[in-house]
Amino acid sequence: MKTSGVFSGWIFAALFIAVPFGASGCSGDNVFGGGDFGKRDFGEKDLGEKANPFDAFAQCLTDKGAVMYGASWCPHCQNQKEMFGGSWRFIDYKECAVPNSRMQSAACSDAGVNAYPTWDFGKGNRKTGEFSLRELSQITGCAMPSEIWTGQDTN
């Protein structure tokens, strides 16, 4: 029996679409832990003699009491980390994913975190979602690095 070209085309299309999209993001089978999520290197970037202009900004967020709760498998959390580059080490970050489990850490459960990323700015000011550096600056009052802040709205 000969298979039709249309049928073969549908199989190819299904594999072409399902494989790349099924393996990315937060799948139901890999909600907490497993896979390669969270294995990116967010270490210090080589900036030579010049200090990273985001160091002071990131430290200011921490000094003002900002805490980010996230999960290693969360793509929005990864984006948030990448915004800071090597300066991420100054952010007060709480990992909520329990490795190789579908559980959330007790610290995050006790803190009432139920979505990622969650930023806690203290005094009952908690916001969920991915925020631009400008938004974080506006929420906390921390000055943006002069190398990127122009004072003009680009959004």
| pLDDT for the residue numbered 52 | 81
Q: What are phi and psi of 55, to 5 degrees?
A: -55, -50
Answer yes or no: is pLDDT of 142 > 80: yes
92: which strand partners?
A: 67
CA–CA dist 134, 61 (Å, integer): 12
CA–CA dist 6, 21 (Å, integer): 23
Residue 35 tokens read as: 């896979």
Provide the CA 85 distance to its chain's centre, in angstroms.
Answer: 12
Residue range 42-50: average pLDDT? Answer: 46
Residue 122 tokens read as: 């203290």
- Per-residue pLDDT tens for 62-71? 999 999 999 9
Residue with the larger pLDDT of the pair 106 and 16:
106
Distances (CA, A) of 52 to 42, 73, 148: 14, 27, 12
- Per-residue pLDDT tens for 57-112? 999 999 999 999 999 999 999 999 999 999 999 999 999 999 988 889 999 999 99
CA–CA dist 74, 115 (Å, integer): 10
Residue 11 tokens read as: 């199989």
Residue range 38-45: average pLDDT? Answer: 39
Domains and CATH numbers, the chain: 67-140 (3.40.30.10)
Which residues touch 21 (CB under 8 Å, ≥6 apart)? none
